Structure 1
Amino acid sequence: MEWQTIPITIMFLLFISCKNETKSLDIDLHKDNKWTMGVKEQTGVQTFVDNYLNTINDTLLNGKITKNYTRNMNGIPVATNKIELNAKMNLYAIGFPNYTIDKTYTEICGNRAFIQWEFSGTNTGLFAEVTATGKKVHITGFSQLYFNKEGELYQEDIFFNELDFLQQLGYSLSPPNLK
């Protein structure tokens, strides 16, 4: 249960730092029309998660991310532009056709958004060239999104327990061969 204290600690630190932080950029992610896309009472972050991550609709990203956008997963760069981002998200859409990403907590501080989320789905399709396992997965994670002065997303850092994800799919670790 030690791994559960990490998200709580991160959220506590964010709460403290956000209370004392002044906005470094002149943008309001809660009201930025570039992100609301005509949907009243939804923040840009909500629109990004609800409409893009749950539908893989790349047209929603037109004018919403920078050309030098970067997505890092657990510290590893996995996408450096919109095309690579769509390819990465399509891996999950194909492997987990019924997947959903739900936000459990969102905090916006200046030009950054912090999101705690839950991913759920059943692996019924090919996932990164691996045959479907038919197993259900439910993982929690944390994302930090960075926006420029125009309100465009330029970096996304995602953290989750990849071992837990793979174990839920039925994979296991074997001890190293020490011979």
Structure 2
Amino acid sequence: MKTTIKFLLIIVSFGITSCNDAKVDKNIAMYTQTWDQIINDGNLDLINDTNFTEDITMVSSPENVVGIDNFKAYYSNFVTGFSDVEFTIEDVFGQGDKLVKHWNFKGTHSGEFFGMPATGNTVDVTGTTLVTMKDGKIAKEQDFFDNMVFLQQLGVLSNPDNVNAINHLYNSFAAGDIDSVLAGLDANVVWNEAEGNAYADGNPYIGPEAVLNGVFARVGGEWDGFKLVNIELHDMSNNQVLATLRYNGTYKKTKKSIDAQVAHLWTLKDGKAIAFQQYVDTKQLADASK
């Protein structure tokens, strides 16, 4: 008798587990297909009462996004704000009406995004979403991802390592390690000397070799004791760093010295300088060369 009861309990347990597994599989299939079509196909009309509950809730701060219309308006920013979109669900699993989604979002910021004009920046963000299903519909979601990285990629916030990267360039220049300076420049860096500076004749210098031959080699050949002093670095938005400093040196031909006020505006991407703009007292440089 005990054996029979135990056997029946196993059968019932197996049946319940099978039903739960089937329910989870059905929820996963519905969920992944719905979001694939919404984001990758740009089909916002799928945010409706067929796929979502009327009170669909996205847990957010400072307040939740509640209701189909609000939910649709929120995600329209992603659909209209980005092109070349690739939304991939890397993994998804669940139990009962609970799902966990691991996802990746790539795209180009080519349209307005929550009021932010297009920047042309590309984003590549990975995150996790906790999902609650109800009667086969999506009822609640809560996203977890590195919002700081996302904002840095958009250019709203700058990478905190940018100042360190530029500081390394100046330290390398002071040490005479030009190879390290060039290594910190992007292969397609756009370098501009100040208008009125003699070295502006090659603007814009494209690539490290052009900077080496058109600027650094000429500075080394024409100036004695050329150095950068009183350097102060200022972290800016949009992955830019402003350096305020002075140029000291003696022009070889005339033996005239300079103590010129200077500003450098650097733009960085992935830890390397992609653009440089110099501002300097060009009259003082010109007077020293005469």
Counterpart position of 1:31: 26
Bigger Rg, structure 1 or 2: 2
1:168 aligns with 2:163: no
Unpaired runs of 5+ in structure 1?
A: 1-21, 33-41
CA drift at 1:119: 0.6
CA drift at 1:47: 1.0
Q: How does 1:1-179 map to 2 (within 5 A)?
A: 28-31=23-26, 43-60=29-46, 61-73=48-60, 76-148=62-134, 150-172=135-157
CA drift at 1:91: 0.7
Q: Which has the higher contact order (CA 8 A, sep 6+)?
A: 1
TM-score normalised according to structure 1 size: 0.69
| Contact 2:57 2:66 (C-alpha < 8 Å) held by counterparts | yes
CA drift at 1:101: 1.3
| Contact 2:39 2:85 (C-alpha < 8 Å) held by counterparts | no
**Counterpart secondary structure, 1:29:** helix
**d(CA) in 2 for partners of 1:71, 1:115:** 14
Give CA-to-partner distance per residue, 1:67-109, whole Å, 9 cap, x none. 1110124x55442011111111111112112222101111121
**d(CA) in 1 for partners of 2:21, 2:62:** 30
Unpaired runs of 5+ in structure 2?
A: 1-16, 159-234, 237-290
**Counterpart secondary structure, 1:106:** strand
TM-score normalised according to structure 2 size: 0.44
Number of residue pairs the alignment of both structures matches: 143
CA drift at 1:62: 3.2
**d(CA) in 2 for partners of 1:156, 1:67:** 14
| Contact 1:123 1:135 (C-alpha < 8 Å) held by counterparts | yes
Query: Identity over the aligned pairs, expressed in percent?
Result: 25
| Contact 2:89 2:104 (C-alpha < 8 Å) held by counterparts | yes
CA drift at 1:50: 1.1
More helix by percentage: 2
**d(CA) in 1 for partners of 2:68, 2:42:** 12
Please identify, of 48-57 and 127-136, the stretch whose mean Cα deviation from structure 2 is larger. Answer: 48-57
Give CA-to-partner distance per residue, 1:40-87, whole Å, 9 cap, x none. xx81122122112323424433322111110124x5544201111111
Provide closer, same or farther for how the CA distance between residues 79 and 55 of structure 1 changes in structure 2, counting only shifts above 3 A.
farther
Give CA-to-partner distance per residue, 1:10-34, whole Å, 9 cap, x none. xxxxxxxxxxxx79x89703136xx
